[in-house]
Amino acid sequence: MFTGIIEAVGEVASAQDVGGDLRLTLAVGSLDMSDVQLGDSIATNGVCLTVVDMDSAHFTADVSQESLAHTRLAQLQVGEAVNLEKALLPTTRLGGHLVSGHVDGLGVVKSIAKDARSVRISIEAPQSLARYIAHKGSVTIDGVSLTVNAVENAVFSLNIVPHTAESTIIRNYKAGDEVHIEVDMIARYLERLLSAPASTADSGEGVTLELLASAGYLRGR
């Protein structure tokens, strides 16, 4: 699990095809590797990768076909910058939101505009993910925990404050770029609970719209 608070910006040192999978070696930049061990997880542009080799300045991870099919890791070029975050500890401050490191799909940057000292970015999500993105809800973009400012159909906008822009690869975005999207896992679990068979809901064991409304989670009911 991760928080979506990027700890360092690294870069791709090498990318090799190994038996149909991708082996990535990443230079970690300022990321502290002193407490990292083999088998630990490091989110790379929001993708949870397992450390299979490492030194104080690099780590290597194997990327499976499943991950390659849902991300743009296969398109990474040597020297390309990447967001890095180590897995959270029980003592970690949850400054962002709970992030699994399992990318749901690819979005496309539609526009970038200055907004005072901040930057406003609009991203189009795949239609299959649009229903999980809500006004003032959380979303993860390339591993960065962000708050949704507005939503119109499958396009949502984000306000990027100067610190976030300077500390992540968001500063390099341009219109047309593809980005990793991970939707809020709470939205996914709620959908699953609400889609439980009617027999379960009727027995009083499931979560229903009426139950959510009575607990104050829904308005106007």
Specify the pLDDT at position 89: 82
Asked whether the predicted pLDDT for residue 216 surpasses 80, the reply is no
- Cα–Cα distance, 19 to 102 (Å, whole number): 23
Which helix (H) or strand (E) element contains residue 52? strand 47-54
Q: Which two tokens stand for residue 64?
A: 């499976």
CATH number of the domain at 8-86, out of 2.120.10.80, 3.30.70.1880, 2.40.30.20, 3.40.50.2300? 2.40.30.20
* CB proximity list for 148: less than 8 A, separation 6 or greater: 133, 134, 135, 136, 137, 138, 139, 156, 157, 158
* CB proximity list for 161: less than 8 A, separation 6 or greater: 117, 118
Query: pLDDT of 162-174, one tens digit each?
Result: 999 999 999 999 9
Question: Where residue 198 falls among pLDDT bands split at 50, 70, 90?
Answer: low
In which residue ranges of the chain is CATH 2.40.30.20 found?
8-86, 105-184
User: 10 Å Cβ neighbour count for 38?
Assistant: 11
Specify the pLDDT at position 201: 47
Asked whether the predicted pLDDT for residue 108 surpasses 70, the reply is yes
CATH number of the domain at 105-184, out of 1.10.10.10, 2.40.30.20, 3.90.1720.10, 3.40.640.10? 2.40.30.20
H helices present in 65-184, as ranges: 65-70, 127-130, 162-167
Give which of 26, 27, 5 is closest to 15, Cα–Cα. Answer: 26
